[in-house]
Structure 1
Amino acid sequence: MKNSLEPIPETITYEELSSLNNLIKHIYDFDFSSYSGASLKRRVSRIMELQHLSIFDLRTLLTNNPEYFESFIREVTVNVTEMFRDPDFFKAIKNEVMPYMQSYQKIKVWNAGCSSGEELYSFAILFIEGKIYDRTFFYGTDINSDVLAQAKLGIYDLHKMKVYAENYLKTEAEYTLSDYYTAKYNAASINHSLKKNILFSEHNLASDGVFNEFQLISCRNVLIYFNLELQKKVITLFYNSLANFGFLCLGSKESLRDTAFEKFRVIDKKNNIYQKIA
C-alpha cells in the first residue's frame, strides 16, 4: 500500500486521532472518544507501524473495508491477562469475600473486560474450592470477539500454564492447577466441570447497559484505558448492576472516584475490593 521509499510514520497526532474517531463513529457508530487519548494514540500508532500504514492508508481502509474495521477493533482492544494474576488479590477474595458468598443461595459473578477468560476461570476455581460453584453462574464479557472465542474454548499454551500454576500456588492453594485442565501436546484444555456454569458474551462498557444483578463484579485493568467521564459512567453501571452488599473489584491502578465512595465501603484497600452499602 505504501511506496517503500516513503517514510513510514510511527505516530499519529491527537488531531489526526480525533478526526479518525469521528470517521469511525460516522461509518460504524462506534465511539472511541471516551477512551484515554494517550492509550488509544499508542495503540493506533503501533497498528500503523506494524502494518506500514500512513494516516491516509488507515482512513482509506476503515472507510472502504468493514472487515478491516473488525480486525482494527480487535487490535485496539486486546488486553493482557493470565490466571491468578496478582496472587494477593485472589488471596483477598478467598479470605475476605468468600465468607460472604457462602451465605447466598444463588450467586452471579460478572468479569467485565474478561479478555481470553483466564481471570474468570480463576474465580471459578476459587468457587469450586469454596464449595459454592454449583450455585454460582459466571458471566465473562468483552468487546473483542476473538478473545471471547478463545475464552469459550478454554485452551491455553502449556508453557503459560506453568506460569499460571506458580501464581496459583502463591494464593496458598491446597491443590495444583493441573487438577483443572487436561494437557495434550503443547496445549492445556480447561476441564468441562469448570466451564459448565460459565457464559462468555460481547458487551461494550462504553455503550451497553445493565443486564443482570450480581453479587460480585470484577473489572481489573480496564478503566485505565477510559477517560474520567467514561470511568464514572462505568462505575455507575457497576453500582446499578450489583445486588445490595455485592462486591466490586478493580485493578491495582484504578480506584473509585468522588461520590462513589459514599456508596461503597472498602474491603481491601491494597487490592481494590469494595462492597456496595447504599
Structure 2
Amino acid sequence: MVKSPIEEIEKIELDLLLDAIYRCYGYDFRGYALPFIQRRVHHRLRNEKLPSISALQEKILHDPTVMQNLFCDFSINVTEMFRDPSFFKALRTKVLPKIKDKSTIRIWHIGSSTGEEVYSMSILLHEEGLYEKAKIYATDINEENIKKAKKGVFSIDGMQQYTQNYFEAGGKRSFSEYYKAIGEQVIFRPYLQTNVIFAQHNLVTDHSINEFDIIICRNVLIYFNKELQNKVHQLLYESLCLEGYIGLGKREGIKFTSYGNRYEEFDATEKLYRKYR
C-alpha cells in the first residue's frame, strides 16, 4: 500500500523525534512498534497543544519536563494484583512444583510497573513455602514506577477486584492478612518485599542481571517491532537457566522468533515455556 505524502512526512518526523530522544536523553524507542509510537505521540501532541511532531521534537530538546511526560506516555502501566488469575494459578500448580527442591529460586519480573504483580508473586511464594529461598528481581524502565513499587502502598479501591483475583489464582488465606488499610490506602506487609530487589532496567539497552529459574515478561514485547523482539528474546534466553520457565502475555509467543526451537511449550493457554537447549 502506497503511503500518502502526509504519512511519509509523519514517518520522517517520528524517526527524527526518536533519534533526538536517543541522542539527547539516552532512551531508545526506535525499535518500538510504529502504531504504538504514533498513538502515544499524538496523545502528547494533544496534551501539549502542539501542531506537529516536529514542534514536539523542538520542545523535548529544550524542556526536560515535556520529555518526562512523553516518557511516561511510552511507559505502559496497566497492572493489578494477580492479573490474569489463571496465569498465577498455573505458576502455583504447575511451575513451582517443578523447581521447589532447588536450593535457591531466582525470578525476574520484567516491566513490573508499580509492583502489584510483584507483591502477588511474593504472596504466592509465601503460601507455597518457597519465599525464604527465593529472590525476586523486579525491574521497570520507569524509575517513578520503581519508587512507587518500593512503598507497597496502593489504593483501597482495587482491593475488591484484587481479592477476587487472589482466590481465582488459588489463594489459600484471607487476602486481607497481607495488608493494612489506612484511610483510602492499603499498605502491604513489609516481609513481602524482604526478598525483592527493585531496580530500573531497560530491556532495549541494558544487559542481563543474573541467571533465572523463572522470567515473567508479560505484555511488554507487543510494543516492540520484530527486530527488537528478537533482540530481547536473545537477552531473555541467555538470562534463563536450562529447564527454566518464561511466561509471556496472551498476545505474545516464542514460536516465530529466532529462539522458538529452544523452548518447549509448557502451558499453551497461559503462554508458559520451558527452555530445553
Scaled by the length of structure 2, the TM-score of the pair is: 0.92
Correspondences of 1:129-278 after superposition (within 5 Å): 129-256=127-254, 257-278=256-277
Aligned partners of 2:77, 2:136: CA distance in 1, in Å? Answer: 20
Cα contact 1:121–1:194 (8 A) shared by 2: yes
The amino acid of 2:16's aligned partner reads S
Structure 1 residues without counterparts, runs of 5 or longer:
1-11
Cα contact 2:230–2:258 (8 A) shared by 1: no
Cα contact 1:74–1:146 (8 A) shared by 2: no
Note the C-alpha offset of 1:71: 3.1
Cα contact 1:114–1:140 (8 A) shared by 2: yes
Correspondences of 1:10-159 after superposition (within 5 Å): 13-55=10-52, 56-159=54-157
The amino acid of 1:30's aligned partner reads Y
Number of residue pairs aligned between Structure 1 and Structure 2: 267
Note the C-alpha offset of 1:67: 3.7
Cα contact 2:36–2:223 (8 A) shared by 1: yes
The amino acid of 1:163's aligned partner reads Q
Once the two structures are superposed, residues 152-204 of structure 1 have per-residue CA deviations (whole angstroms, 9 ceiling, x without a partner) of 11110001122111111112322122111111000011100111111111100
Note the C-alpha offset of 1:229: 0.7
Aligned partners of 2:211, 2:185: CA distance in 1, in Å? Answer: 35
CA RMSD after TM alignment: 1.4
Cα contact 1:108–1:136 (8 A) shared by 2: yes
Structure 2 residues without counterparts, runs of 5 or longer:
1-8
Partner of 1:7: none
Aligned partners of 2:26, 2:91: CA distance in 1, in Å? Answer: 38
Q: State the secondary structure of the residue aligned to 1:156.
A: strand
Note the C-alpha offset of 1:206: 0.5
Cα contact 1:114–1:120 (8 A) shared by 2: yes
Question: Which consecutive aligned stretches of 4+ in structure 1 deviate over 6 angstroms post-superposition?
Answer: none
Once the two structures are superposed, residues 9-41 of structure 1 have per-residue CA deviations (whole angstroms, 9 ceiling, x without a partner) of xxx933321121122123223221100110011
Q: State the secondary structure of the residue aligned to 1:13.
A: helix
The amino acid of 2:199's aligned partner reads S
Scaled by the length of structure 1, the TM-score of the pair is: 0.92
Cα contact 1:210–1:241 (8 A) shared by 2: yes
